[in-house]
Every structure is written in structure tokens, then in C-alpha cells.
Chain A
Amino acid sequence: MKGTRIRDAIFIASIVFAVTILAVPTLLGALGHMPPVDVRTIAIKYLNNTYNPFNQSIWTSSPEAVAAIVWDYRGLDTLFETAVFYSAIIAALALYREILGKKDTLEGRGLSIIVQRSTAISMVGILVVGFATILHGQLTPGGGFQGGAIAAVTSVVAIVVFSRLFIDRSRLSYKHLLVIRNTALVGIALTAIIPLIFQLFSNQTTFIFQNQGKAMSGFSYPHTIADAPMGGSIWFYNLFEGLAVVSAFSLAMIIVFYSEELSRKTIEGEESGF
């Protein structure tokens, strides 16, 4: 009892100390103006070049500077980031390799009919918001990963509210999700190397991960469709990344929500090595 009281006192004292040490310098203006009042030179450079129809030699045709940096200026970074994310998902799937794609033994019925109906209505809304974020990634904040994470909440809510049996019986099966994820990843790779394929059939020099035409190469993705800025390859990257994230998160959640009887099989015999 005495031990817990001392521990609580230390805990409260350390919280107060941490808050004070952060709050006092902030109040005294150690971080400068909050929010900042000036624009840094690198930001000015990006803002001038990202969507500048009057100087199309170095533009990205995407009004959203963050999306342009993520998928055009720093496109290769994002490609490897995606590779890291999918390595993690594949590792999680490999842990459950013996039961992947199997039907769950538990016959759950889910929550009550009122919850199920109201969830079915709001699930449509979540999906619409998610896909709007994906498809407008070149115009508004957000993009493939953000929209994919929003849309993937639908599958998690569906597992909790409608039970796992519902997912097993629906078309959202393990195999279909795997096909969607692999198609989307191939799509990302293809969008990156389509400029090189284009080079085979023409005499122009092109670059990997090229979006808009440069001074020495004429290849461009379509930059406007019906007066709407499409951001060239950024739209395609966002679409494929979004689809891949939705399917990968859904896969991970589906294996996590296996019943204990089935998921226990994966750790059987670990004393004799994995």
C-alpha cells in the first residue's frame, strides 16, 4: 500500500514536471510564432513550381503540394516506404500461414439487428469518404494511404458488428483480397515504369517515375481531364496505393479476428522450433 502511494506521488510529480518543462518555454515563445507567420524558402520553391501552368517544364500538375512531394519529387522514397509497409503485412500473414484462407470454426451471429442496420448505412458513408480521399488526393489533403486507412475501417467494423462468419460467406474472402492487393502493387510498379516502356516505342528519352514532360523528354501523364487537374501519375499512384492499403489492412484484421480455437493452431509445436 505504502509502495503504491510513493509510486503514485512519483508519477504525478513527473507528469507535472514534464508539462511544466514543455509549457513554460512554449508560453515564453521558444518555438517562435505559433502558428509561424513566415514561409520558408524551400516551401516557396515548392509552391511556385508544383502547380504552375505558365512554366510547365518543371511542374507536377497537382495543386496539392504534399501529394506532389510524396509521389513525384520524393516518389522513390514513398515506393520504398510502401515496400516496408507490405513487408510488415506479409510478415504478419506469414505468422498465420497454416490457417490463412480457412473458414472460422466459430459460428458468430454478430450484434443485434438495430446495430447491424445502422452500421450498414454508416458503412456506405465511411467507404464514400475513404474513396473520395483517395480519388481527390491530387486536389485535397490526403491521398492513397489516408483514404485507404479510412476505407479499411469499414471491414473492421463489419467483422465486429456482423461477425466473422459474415465475412467468410461474403465475397470479401482471403483470396479476393489477395488478388486486389497484388493487382494494386503491380499497378504501382507499372505506373513507375510505363515511361520506360514508352521509350521502347519512341525515340524520346524518358525517366523512371516520370510524371510530366521535362525539357529533354516529352513523355507526360494526362494532366487535366475535363478541366479538372489530375496530377498526372499522382492520381494513379493514389488509386493503387489506396486499393492496396484497403486490402492489406482488411487482410491483417481478418486474420487477427480468427477465433482462438483456430489461431491457437499456429503456435502449436513451437517448443521444437518454428
Chain B
Amino acid sequence: MLELADLVFVMLGISALLSIPATILAIISRDLLRAVIFSALQSTMYTLMFFLLMAPDIVLVYVAVSIGFMSLLIILLIKKVGRYERY
């Protein structure tokens, strides 16, 4: 039978596995704006994992920095260097 602790473990696994395709898509995406969105999705999954690992302090700072600051800074950079990646 599933207990509450097992449910936490299952959610941890699901969010960890969901973060992998987001990371891969962020790396291989040619559209850099889309890559930022995938990277923010990966950060959201990590936030959930930190919360499930009982580290709410880290969650509070990770949400603000990785989803707010990082995305805005990289979008600013994309505005200067162009949206599409060329080989």
C-alpha cells in the first residue's frame, strides 16, 4: 500500500523525471526565447523537489532567483544578441 511518505517519493521522482526533457529541450532548442522558457520549467520542477525535500528556505530564494532574475537577465541578453541560434 502507498503511504504518505511514498507519495512524496513518487512526486519527487515524477518532478525529477519531468525536469530532464525540459533540460534537454532547453539545450537543443534553436529559439533562445523558447530555451529560456524550458529552463524556467526545469527550475519549477527543481523548486517542487526542494519543497518535497523539506527545504522551504531554499524554495523561497530559488523561485525568485532562478525563475525571476535568471529568465529576465537572459531575455535581456537575447534582446541584444538575437533570438535564433545559428551554427
A15 near B24 with CB under 8 A, answer yes
Return the chain B residue nearest A141 by Cβ: B56
Chain B proximity of A137: nearest CB distance (Å): 10
B69 near A37 with CB under 8 A, answer no
Separation of A35 and B24 alpha carbons in the complex (Å): 27
Separation of A133 and B72 alpha carbons in the complex (Å): 22
| A contact residues, total (Cβ < 8 Å) | 28
Bitwise interface map of B from 50 to 71 toward A, beta carbon under 8 Å scored 1, else 0: 0011101101110111001100
Main secondary structure of the interface of B (DSSP, over half): helix
Main secondary structure of the interface of A (DSSP, over half): helix
Separation of A145 and B65 alpha carbons in the complex (Å): 11
A160 near B72 with CB under 8 A, answer yes
Separation of A112 and B79 alpha carbons in the complex (Å): 19
Interface stretch (choices A52-60, A80-88, A97-105, A146-154):
A146-154
A142 near B57 with CB under 8 A, answer yes
Separation of A156 and B85 alpha carbons in the complex (Å): 26
Near B by CB (< 8 A), chain A positions 154-177 give: 156-157, 160
14 more A-B contacts (CB under 8 A) besides A149-B64, A150-B60, A152-B64? A11-B28, A15-B20, A35-B8, A35-B53, A133-B60, A141-B60, A142-B56, A142-B57, A146-B61, A149-B69, A150-B63, A153-B69, A156-B72, A257-B76
Interface residues of B (CB under 8 A from A): 5, 8-9, 12, 20, 24, 27-28, 52-54, 56-57, 59-61, 63-65, 68-69, 72-73, 76, 80
Interface residues of A (CB under 8 A from B): 8, 11, 15, 19, 33-35, 37, 66, 133, 141-143, 145-147, 149-150, 152-153, 156-157, 160, 249, 253, 256-257, 260
